[in-house]
Amino acid sequence: MRKLAKLVFSAALLSIVIIACKESKDGEKDKEANTEQTASGTEGDATEALEKAASPTVVNANLVPEEELEGMGLPSEIVAQILEKRPFLSMNDFDALVGNVENKEALYQKIFVPFNLNTTAEADFKMIPGVGERMAHEFEEYRPYTSIKQFRREIGKYVDAQEVARYENYVFVPVELNTASEEDIKALPGVGNRMAHEFEEYRPYTNMAKFRKEIGKYVDDKELARLERLVYLNE
């Protein structure tokens, strides 16, 4: 009887030890998993924060408010001329007005008139900060662009996604008024949800005169002239 009791006691004790070891191992695995997950999350948050910090905001010279212009260190007479002469139908016009201001490249990291990817001269792309001979050539190489997605795909062969996103501050792909997707319309400089809806609302457009008439109900003549350079109609 005593032998049987000892055997039962020994078996019970062994079971307790085995269970305790298993729980200890499971606890260590859970702890490791949680540590890895926390580290991964921290790393992801840090990467995202770094990307945001490394991507400065570039404002559209045709849309930036007067007080922001004044805060860019431009001479007051230049600010007055910018406000008077807007909209600039090309970056070349804006560049000529700005003239030989000090550290122009630093200025263009903050303010720009986006280039039409399909019509801009290859040499002019070099006005974009950080774009040299080779990248200016690649911008021109893949014409005609049918959408901004094509630009992302082709230029993404040479630079990372963050740099492609930075380039998008400086360029646009004009859209065909009757066939462009809402996504492509909203990718145009300064065109938001409401205006994209109005672009689609009046389809089909038979000519640009209809575009001017309908969209002119919502914006003034200067803004209409700016928007008109962003679109076209197939014959």
Q: pLDDT-based confidence at 235, cuts 50/70/90? A: confident
pTM equals: 0.75
Same CATH fold assignment for domains 114-173 and 174-235 = yes
List the domain boundaries for the chain. Answer: 58-113, 114-173, 174-235
Integer angstrom CA distances of residue 132 from 112, 124, 126, 148, 210? 17, 10, 6, 21, 40
22-31, 73-82, 208-217, range with the lowest pLDDT: 22-31
CB 83 within 8 A of CB 69: yes
Q: Is the pLDDT of residue 227 over 50?
A: yes
Q: How much of the chain, in percent, has pLDDT values that exceed 90?
A: 72
Instruction: Convert the pLDDT of each residue in 5-20 to its tens digit.
Output: 444 444 444 454 444 4
Asked if the bond preceding 87 is cis, omega within 30° of 0, the reply is yes
Q: How much is the mean pLDDT over the chain?
A: 84
Evaluate whether the domain defined by 174-235 bears CATH number 1.10.150. Answer: yes
The predicted-structure confidence for 126-143, as pLDDT tens digits, reads as follows 999 999 999 999 999 999
- Would you say residue 124 has pLDDT above 90? yes
- Residue 149 clears pLDDT 80, i.e. is over it: yes
Average pLDDT over residues 201-212: 98
CA 71 to mean position of chain CA atoms: 23
Token duo for residue 12? 């019970």
Report which of residues 9 and 82 the model is more confident about: 82
Lowest mean pLDDT among 73-77, 168-172, 183-187, 215-219: 73-77
Question: H helices within the chain, ranges in order?
Answer: 2-53, 66-70, 76-85, 91-98, 104-108, 133-141, 148-155, 161-167, 182-186, 193-201, 208-215, 221-228
Render pLDDT for 152-190 as a digit per residue (tens, 0 to 9): 999 999 999 999 999 999 999 999 999 999 999 999 999
CATH of region 114-173: 1.10.150
Q: Which residue has the higher pLDDT, 38 or 207?
A: 207
